[in-house]
A = this chain, B = another copy of it.
């Protein structure tokens, strides 16, 4: 295993400490619950927005805690949902008179933790609502999931409700907006390589030198099929053929187009995919409102990429363009 780690069991805490130290006081860290949160939260006049999926998908979701995005993140270990205790204690610490919003990616472990955590909060008299993200069109159920998986589309849910929350939206309004994003976002991922969780120390799965996994899950779960590696243009065709008819996205629609790197693929290759997808969509009368080419939801150092389309209306366009603060810095 070739990684920058000390004790692999301390990988997540050391990463969280690094994120906090890099934030110049903007973020606080509570090691007991793997909890990263905005130093200026909770606030009386704002719903608190919380996520707690597995680690290993960075920058999702611990590196997008900030104004206009998440208010707190309480991740589990690599590829493991957080314990119920993390969800409960985080929700209590971030509790606000306007309520708490849980954004949960649809994995059985995450769902159980957040359902039980919510029940405990409600017994304490707190008001909690939940958004369930399930944008991955690859498979109906999976080894980790009943129903579709939540993947890179999670970013758009957080961006939209985070912006609305800064504008003062109440909990019901955030649930409406979040569910609008969820209803209009679809993703398909393709992996070229496996990845190595630090504690495991060996590959999550094997894949031959000339193969790719179409519809890969972000924990290396099988997708639709294992096929021979094909050209970038053919890969975009496969992605669009899975994503476009699923909503469906249609002539006249405006979309946000995301090419998300899975961790080990250089951004130059992501822009190759982006250019091909952009041209194909525009040729089909689907207008690209805004581009997102970067890593948003990864699987450690997996080589691969996912394509996400979000159909936008005037409300979502406005929310996507609002300012935000995240840990990730480009200048």
- Residues of A that sit less than 8 Å from B by CB: 2-6, 11, 14-15, 17-24, 55-56, 58-59, 63-64, 68-69, 155, 159, 192-193, 209, 212, 229, 231-233, 235, 263-276, 278-279, 290-295, 298, 300-301, 303, 305, 324, 326-331
Contacts and interface: CB of A to CB of B under 8 A. Distances in A.
18 contacts: A2-B192, A2-B303, A4-B235, A4-B265, A4-B270, A6-B232, A6-B233, A6-B272, A15-B271, A18-B276, A21-B274, A56-B268, A266-B298, A268-B300, A291-B329, A293-B327, A293-B329, A301-B303
A4 B272 contact: yes
Contact of A294 (B275, B276, B279, B328): B328
Given A266-B298, A290-B24, A294-B330, A272 B324 contact: no
Contacts of A265: 3-4, 301
Contacts of A295: 267
A22 B266 contact: no
A80 B38 CA distance: 44
Contacts of A212: 2
Given A324-B331, A331-B324, A58 B4 contact: no
Question: Copies of this chain, how many?
Answer: 2
Nearest to A279: B21
Given A264-B264, A275-B18, A278-B22, A3 B326 contact: no
A2 B274 CA distance: 18
A298 B264 CA distance: 12
Contacts of A209: 2
Contact of A5 (B2, B272, B294, B300): B272
Contacts of A330: 59, 294, 326, 328-330
A268 B302 CA distance: 13
A178 to B, nearest CB: 16
Contacts of A278: 18, 21-22
A3 B190 CA distance: 11
Contact of A229 (B2, B15, B279): B2
